Amino acid sequence: GQNIDQPTEMTATEGAIVQINCTYQTSGFNGLFWYQQHAGEAPTFLSYNVLDGLEEKGRFSSFLSRSKGYSYLLLKELQMKDSASYLCAVRDYGQNFVFGPGTRLSVLP
């Protein structure tokens, strides 16, 4: 079966660092993606991992361990505009994207 787990909600303070975890069990693996979705808006692409390790992109970093079926998204120097839902998604060999339930992050002043 296909299963992706993420925490439902997280809260952090402006300027802090937050780590959003994602665990997955899918039929085949062809990349892990993180998307950001602000309320009432379309999801937008944040990061992509296909090999183990850390990918850094400005204030955002994403880590992947394929053997553990585990990824995390690290957000540094949090800003109020980072308040959004963060979606973890795995693409399988059939090019299907399986999305997790999303983590709603609230950044407090």
Partner 1 sequence: KAGVTQTPRYLIKTRGQQVTLSCSPISGHRSVSWYQQTPGQGLQFLFEYFSETQRNKGNFPGRFSGRQFSNSRSEMNVSTLELGDSALYLCASSLEWENTGELFFGEGSRLTVL
Asked if 86 interacts with partner 1 (CB under 8 A), we say no
Does 94 bind partner 1 (CB under 8 A)? Our answer is yes
Among 18, 24, 33, 69, the residue binding partner 1 under the rule CB under 8 A is 33
- Interface with partner 1 (CB under 8 A), residue from 45, 54, 56, 57: 45
Report which residue type is found at 45.
F
To partner 1, the closest distance from the beta carbon of 108 in angstroms equals: 22
Interface contacts to partner 1, rule CB under 8 A? 31, 33, 35, 41-45, 48, 87, 89, 91, 94-102
